[in-house]
Chains A and B, each alone.
Chain A
Amino acid sequence: MTSTRRDLFKLAGGAAVGALFTPAPWRLVTDTALWSETWPGVPRPARGEIRAKYTNCSLCPAGCAVRARCVGEQPVALMGVLEHPFTHGALCPFGLAGHHLPYHPARIAQGPVKQAAAAIASALARCAANERIAVLDLRPGRTASWTYRRALAQWKNGTYLTPPRTLGGNLAVNLAAAKTVLSFGTPLLDGWGTPGNVIAAREGFRLIQAETVESRTAVMADQWLPIRPGSEPALARAIANVLGNQPLHDAALETGLTEAQIVAAARELADNGPALVLDARERPEILALNQLVGSLGHTIVMRREAPVPAEWKNAVAATELSAVPDGSVRVLLIDESAPGPYLPWSAVEKKLVAENPVVVAFAWSGEGYGRHAQFVLPTAVYPEMVDDIPAAVDSPAAMFRLSAALVPPPADVVNPAEFVAALAQISATNTLRERADAIHKSGRGTLFTYADAKSTALKDVKADGFWKALNEGGCWMDAVPERQEIPKLAFGPPAATLTADNLPLAVVMAEAPAGLGSPILSKMYQESNLRLAEDRVVLHPTVARECGVEDGGRAILEAGCGRLDVLVCEDPGSPQGVVQVAAGPRTLDLCGSSPRAKVVRA
């Protein structure tokens, strides 16, 4: 019997059909899926002895104390330090997954360091008398910030730029003293300040949340005042009028609240003190309510800065971006290594000289200012970086704590402060230790060490012991000064009223910008819309219909500064006339300076 080619094909066909009736192909599909979870390239925690290392999370200014469970040298889980007198063992979800960041797909590990240095040197050589070199520091108050200020003092027009802030510098919030808090859109229970401190203080105050959307803080507040978008200053004025026995005029119409609601909120602030008024955008005309309700010295307190060596005092002062003449910055260096408030690019760009400005961003990913800079120089990311974390907005006392590296950074990363110091030819190699010594010399405050949960008066600790404790997990807390002489909070000019023109929707950014988080978190938060991704907008179904877009469809978000492709999510809970967007560099660039937008079909 001879076999033909046809028989062979039949045999193969039979084998293929037969295989379908065995477990083999189905099992291989599952096994391959399982294999793909751990295939080469997926970071693998080492096996070995488990031990604890301590550090402080530098992903936001809260600087929560962290206990890292390490296998060998590799952190595999992060948790809080329960006994910490201020952070109370809490970590937010970003902090809990912070050890994933070195493996983030958006991570930059190499950059054109030499080319950037050459471009800066050549730009400085061309710098005219009315032009300047500026450093934009998103998290002022660090030791690195002092290095920038000292370095900039070496140039004639060196300018040190910081994001505008009223609270968080030498004025801090004492939440523990508050009995009533009126918050104008501040995400007080969702990322503001230090989570552990906010949770610990929460029992002690009644929270009234005045906000257009029912944010997570609004949901958890004792009372939510659903105000019209952009009517926060009007509500603040109305409350001031009630407190000053003045008529309310048409405040109810402007804010969308009833007069009784406004009067009740004002009375509560006056009668159930100490009170505190917070505003998400720190508008002076709103924060000045604190003066009327007697917050200053009680819930808003003066805070000393952590001491610095006397020889550092030859440094330039901080300048707000708005105070810098347009078209005057020839070299702009932006330190994004320690995340802070993002200033819309349009506001930054207009300060640059018209021809060939040099913009260098120091960042661990190119998602922020890296999109606009000529050079993006890679920096270490938490928990690789060594940096200090100044006290958060809700800490009445100064603090000094280090984010000590849990893992080594890649070889080619740049230390932004050392880079700038080298340009200015000043020394900045041992600044953290120098500052720790200056604090030690002051003899003020206490040292809390994480491993043994002990507080020791600083005067009882030796300088080397202090430095060692800071590196191994410790926090210095200043003594709160007894006398509180607080400068008056000025009522600024009222913010410009929003005009409808061709942008019919008010933009509401419900959340504080958080920067890039662990990819796992992005998946959980953003794919589930628990926390909006930058490419999503939320609209009321009626608004969506009016815009000609539908749930899950693509659309274009148009605002004063451009357009962004977005995905539409309909939510009947979203107010009419509003588009909710996530706060992130792209949306802030687009909507930051013009809080109105429109959504059109893509």
Chain B
Amino acid sequence: MRGIFPFAAGAAIMLVAGWAGFPRAIYKSRPQPVDFSHKVHADKAGQKCEDCHAFRPDGTFAGIPTLDKCAGCHAAVMGATVAEKNFVEQYVTPAREPQWAVYARQPENVFFSHIAHVKRAQLTCDTCHGDHGASDHLLPYQEDRVSGYSRNIWQTADRVKTTRAAMTMSACVECHRQQGLEHSCLDCHK
């Protein structure tokens, strides 16, 4: 009986490390430069997603707004929150662009067209970004130490159930397959 103890101990240590430690250790985490509340902007300022995350005239997606867009309203402190005060002092006044970490950033070998999904396929933002637009705080940005992929892309429990959290090719293919829209590799890998 004693003979099996080291083996069992090794297996048990590894099971604990693999199930409890590894999923945490595989990600490195960093906070966003500013704690931004989508909820406040949507509820109080009545803003819609496309007011800040707009398409450029040539159809490309501008992504996260640049500082001048924020400074249009926040040239001076408007509210009473510490986050806003810090934002104005540290970024707007010195005209320093915040270094946002983009949850949905694609790996370099993939081309993703927002306009094709939003305008042509008529997908709403929450299809992929979940309830991110109603969040009160920004989650820390978590990056897989090995693959370099962001963890919180979908921000929707539904997707996490069916796919890995990260936006892997299988997730894209799965959705395209459901829609009967499998085309060529060059659609995304240009």
Contacts and interface: CB of A to CB of B under 8 A. Distances in A.
Nearest to A77: B190
A518 B17 CA distance: 45
Given A10-B3, A34-B168, A520-B186, A77 B111 contact: yes
Interface stretch (B6-14, B29-37, B88-96, B130-138): B6-14
A14 B7 contact: yes
A256 B164 CA distance: 59
B67 interface: no
B14 A520 contact: no
Contacts of B56: 50
Interface stretch (A20-28, A105-113, A170-178, A258-266): A20-28
B18 A31 contact: no
Contacts of A97: 186, 190
B10 to A, nearest CB: 3
Given A3-B6, A50-B60, A31 B190 contact: no
Nearest to A100: B190
A411 interface: no
Nearest to B15: A18
Contacts of A14: 6-14
A32 B186 contact: no
Interface stretch (A36-44, A319-327, A442-450, A560-568): A36-44
A13 interface: yes
Contacts of B13: 14-15, 18
Nearest to B56: A50
A22 B17 contact: yes
Interface string A250-275: 00000000000000000000000000
A23 B3 contact: no
B8 A524 contact: no
Between A11, A12, A13, the greatest number of chain B beta carbons within 10 A of the residue's beta carbon is seen for A11
A76 interface: yes
Interface residues of A, number: 39
Contacts of A461: none
Interface in A408-453: none
A404 B157 CA distance: 49
Contacts of B111: 76-77
Given A23-B19, A38-B108, A17 B190 contact: no
Interface residues of B, number: 38
B185 interface: yes
B108 A8 contact: no
B22 interface: yes
A10 B6 CA distance: 6
Interface in A24-79: 24, 27-28, 30-32, 34-35, 37-38, 42, 44-45, 50, 52, 69, 76-77
B108 A52 contact: no
B87 interface: no
A11 B9 contact: yes
Nearest to A10: B6
Contact of B147 (A10, A31, A93, A524): A31
Contacts of B7: 10-11, 13-14, 17
Interface string B148-190: 1100000000000000101010000000000000001110011
Nearest to B26: A27
B23 interface: yes
Interface in A328-356: none
B10 A10 contact: yes
A300 B10 CA distance: 83
B11 A17 contact: yes
Given A28-B146, A31-B26, A18 B18 contact: yes
A117 interface: no
A529 to B, nearest CB: 15
B147 A22 contact: no
A96 interface: yes
Contact of A76 (B19, B186, B190): B190
A15 B14 contact: yes
B50 interface: no
B3 A24 contact: no
Given A10-B6, A24-B22, A27-B22, A520 B189 contact: yes
Contacts of A44: 108
A238 to B, nearest CB: 42
A451 B49 CA distance: 31
Given A31-B147, A35-B146, A520-B189, A45 B10 contact: no
Contacts of A27: 22, 26
Contacts of A50: 56, 58, 60
Nearest to B12: A18
A3 B3 CA distance: 11
A21 B12 CA distance: 10
A21 B17 CA distance: 11
Given A11-B7, A11-B10, A14-B9, A45 B22 contact: no
A501 interface: no
23 contacts: A7-B6, A11-B9, A14-B12, A14-B14, A17-B14, A19-B18, A21-B18, A22-B14, A22-B19, A23-B19, A30-B147, A30-B164, A31-B26, A32-B147, A34-B147, A37-B107, A38-B108, A42-B108, A42-B109, A76-B190, A96-B190, A97-B190, A520-B185
Given A10-B6, A38-B148, 14 more contacts: A8-B6, A10-B4, A11-B6, A13-B7, A14-B6, A15-B13, A17-B14, A21-B11, A22-B17, A23-B19, A24-B17, A34-B149, A37-B109, A77-B190
3 A-B pairs closest in CB distance: A22-B18, A14-B10, A18-B14
